[in-house]
Amino acid sequence: MAEPAANQTPQDAVSAYKRMLLGVIDRRPSGTRQRLATALAKNRSFVSQITNPAYSTPIPASHLAQIFEVCHFSGPERQEFTRLYARAHPKKMLAERPARAAVVELPDLGDEARNLKLHGLVSAFVRDIARLIEDEREKGKRR
C-alpha cells in the first residue's frame, strides 16, 4: 500500500519517480538504456543509478526532457512522472517551462567513445548558454 504523501520522506519521493522510470524503460524495446545513456552522454551505470529506487541519487532536472523523449513517455506517463518529481524536488519544478527541441547533426568520429565525448561537450555547451541567458533574464538585464 502506498504511503500518504504527507508521510513520505524525501528518499520515498525519489524512489517513487525512479520506480516509475524503471517501469517505463522495462516496457520499451531492448537497447533503451543504452540509447538513454548515449543521449545523456553518460555511462550505462549512470542510467542504472537513476533508475534504481534503492539509490537516493536524484535525476538532474536538466535530463528530464531527454528522458521523456528517448523513453517515449506517453502524455499521462509524463504528467505522472512530473508530479512525482515535483513532490520529491519542489524547488526544481517551480518554473517548469516546455523545452524547445533543436537537432544538431554531429559528425561521426569513427569511435563510440569519441562520439559520446563530442555529444557531451556540445550538450554541456548548449546547457551553459541557456543557463547564462536565464541568469541574465532573471537579473532583469536584457540586451
Q: Which CATH number fits domain 7-99: 3.40.50.1580, 3.30.930.10, 3.50.50.60, 1.10.260.40?
A: 1.10.260.40
Q: Which three cell numbers stand for residue 39?
A: 543521449
Q: What are the start-end ranges of the H helices in 72-111?
A: 75-88
Rounded distance between C-alpha atoms, residue 10 and residue 23, angstroms: 20
For the chain, 143 residues long, give each residue's pLDDT as a single digit of tens: 455 555 677 788 899 999 999 999 999 999 999 999 998 888 899 999 999 999 988 998 888 988 998 999 998 999 999 999 988 988 776 445 555 667 788 899 999 889 888 988 888 888 788 778 877 766 765 44
What is the pLDDT at residue 57? Answer: 85
Sign of CA dihedral 48, 49, 50, 51: positive
Task: Delimit the domains of the chain by residue range.
Answer: 7-99, 102-143
| 26-64 b/e (C-beta count within 10 Å ≥ 16 → b) | eeeeeebbeebbbbbbbeeebbebbbebeeeebbeeebb
